Amino acid sequence: MNKKLWMYTCCISTFLAACNNGQQQGDTQHSDAVAVYLTTPDQQQLFAQQASLGEATDTAALNITMDTSRQFQEIEGFGASVTGSSAYVMQQYMTPEKRQALLEELFSADKGLGINYIRMSIGASDFSTDPYTYDDMAAGQRDDSLAHFSIAHDEKDVVPVLKQIFAINPDIHLMGSPWSAPAWMKTSGKLEGGSLRPDAYAVYARYFVKYIRAFAAAGVKITALTMQNEPQYEAAYPTMKMTAPEQGTFIKEHLGPLLAQEGLNKQVAIMLFDHNWNSPEYPISILNDSTMAKYTAGAAFHCYEGAVGAMSVVHDAHPEKGLYFTECSGGSWSPAFADNLQYMVRQLFIGTVNNWSRNVLLWNMALDENNGPTTNKPGEGKANRGCMTCRGVVTVNSKDGGVTRNVEYYAIAHFSKFVRPGAKRIYSSALADKGIENTAFLNRDGSRVMVVINTTKEPRSFSVKEQSVVAYTLQPGAVATLVWR
């Protein structure tokens, strides 16, 4: 077995018995020691436990002050999307034993990463085995009574995998996001593109309610909804445009009141937008309507255009609302582990959390070695497939069910393992201009967690001052999670 493969295998259990250059580290912890978990850009350390830090005699030139009395937003969780494709590769390519081992590794707080937030598509996305919704009708036909509503398509792969996840982590958050309403509700008359017809607003609201209840009956609890994935975008796979006024009207006059009437408003949070950082005015314009705003928990964002600071623009306009980060994908267009590690930790995790996000979600939880399967409309070959180069958090081999842990896996691990749901982001002094970027948290059990990345090309020594002082040196591009127990 080569060294890199050995390290991947070892890191399945690195959270309980650390891997470090092929040697297990002593994991005896003292109450006054600070645990350290390290990932280096050369992949020689992959979320590997290091020697614990004792109290330093003095602060370093680069000193981070951490203050638990200065608290900000509550953290709900970290994770990725269990798309139809993710469920397919885990359900179809893996033995039950391998699948259980992988899901425990991803979702168990004791045995693995402790992922506590996932997203799914309501019907097909661009990562499903085929295009569908839960109420598809022949062209020219309608189903305003929703008599044909069914989640049968998802009962083959999606439901079994989600139920297995819930058995491991019953308290996990699950966000549902539609890529398209049923074609008969749309101006285009098809799943690709078009908008929701005004005369379908009421029935579409009931469609959401039936979705929530159907999955609950199947043992899967939905805790959040976005109204439309990427509402400013149309493509040759299931998509639907929805302007800010349209989304506001749909929530205010239909979905919001209906969820309240059905007693679901306390269980399921409604989130606006679910698109890129470059349009903060979209959710702000909806939240400015105080009557409408009472139905929403806040706004969700993706990474593909704009800058992360847009989230703070929305926070400043409406600090009473939550912010969420719901999608970003790595892919074969950017193959360098080091570059991806820095971008993901710096922008997608530290960046979004420091700009008020309550969660951080990447895109596909799992894909196969061909970056798929992706949605392929029958008879059209690859004509309307979505992203052909997106990478999953893990790659599941279609031949033997083997698992490759990608850079996304380690980026998530640095946060999800020790920053538990209900943690509060706390003050930590910013040293971005010195090349040491960080964010810090206080867990409900009193433990403190800080994630630090060195964004320079030189080693950086720094100290952290809380009740006492600890010091550490990070190599260029390296990421460390520090845990005060």
Task: Quick: pLDDT tens for 235-244.
Answer: 999 999 999 9
Q: Residue 474: enclosing H or E segment and its boundaries?
A: strand 469-474
- Residue 473's φ and ψ, nearest 5 degrees, are -120, 125
∠ CA 264-169-205 to the nearest 5 degrees?
A: 25
Catalytic residue among 76, 192, 327, 466: 327
Verify whether residue 327 is a known catalytic residue.
yes
With a CB cutoff of 8 Å and minimum separation 6, the contacts of 257 are 295
Tokens of 274: 């679910």
pLDDT, residue 274, reads 98
pLDDT of residue 30: 39
Residues of the chain with pLDDT under 50: 1-31, 383
Where does 368-468 show beta strands of DSSP type E?
Answer: 394-396, 403-405, 424-428, 436-442, 448-454, 460-465
Is the Cβ–Cβ distance between 387 and 360 less than 8 Å? Answer: no
Of the chain, the end-to-end C-alpha distance in Å amounts to 36
Structure token pair of residue 395? 């790659």
**What residues does CATH 2.60.40.1180 cover in the chain?**
3-73+425-484
CATH value of 3-73+425-484 in 2.60.40.1180, 2.60.40.420, 2.40.50.140, 3.40.50.10860:
2.60.40.1180
Does residue 230 carry a catalytic annotation?
yes
Please identify which of the residues 104, 230, 437, 466 carries the catalytic annotation.
Answer: 230
Distance, CA of 364 to CA of 122 (rounded, Å) = 15
- In the chain, % helix, strand, coil (3-state, to 5) comes to 30, 25, 45
- The sheet carrying 469-474 orders its strands as 48-49, 34-39, 479-484, 448-454, 436-442, 424-428, 63-74, 460-465, 469-474
- Per the CB < 8 A criterion, the answer to whether 346 and 474 are in contact is no
Kindly calculate the radius of gyration of the chain based on its CA atoms and give it in whole angstroms: 22
CA-to-CA dists, residue 83 to 88, 263, 330, angstroms: 8, 28, 15
CB 401 within 8 Å of CB 93: yes
Provide the token pair at 157. 């792969």
Q: What separation in angstroms does the CA of 34 have from each of 27, 462, 472?
A: 12, 14, 11
* Angle, CA 406 vertex, CA 403 and CA 412 arms, to 5°: 110
For the residues of 25-48, what is the DSSP string, one character each?
A: PP----TT-EEEEEE-TTSSSSSE
Dist. CA 74–CA 441, nearest whole Å:
9
Q: Where in the chain is the domain with CATH 3.20.20.80?
A: 76-418
pTM for this predicted structure: 0.93
- Determine contact, residues 19/315, Cβ cutoff 8 Å: no
Which superfamily is assigned to 76-418 in CATH? Glycosidases (3.20.20.80)
Structure tokens, 121? 């598509």
- The two most distant CA atoms of the chain are separated, in Å, by 77
**CA-CA distance, 14 to 23, in Å (whole number)?**
11
pLDDT recorded at residue 376: 66
Q: Are 204 and 181 in contact (CB under 8 A)?
A: yes
Q: Cβ distance 22 to 45 under 8 Å?
A: no
For residue 447, give every residue at least 6 positions away whose Cβ sits within 8 Å of its Cβ, in sequence order, or none.
418, 483, 484, 485
Q: Return the closest-CA partner of residue 179 out of 189, 193, 160.
A: 193
Task: Give the separation between CA 425 and CA 423, rounded to whole angstroms.
Answer: 7
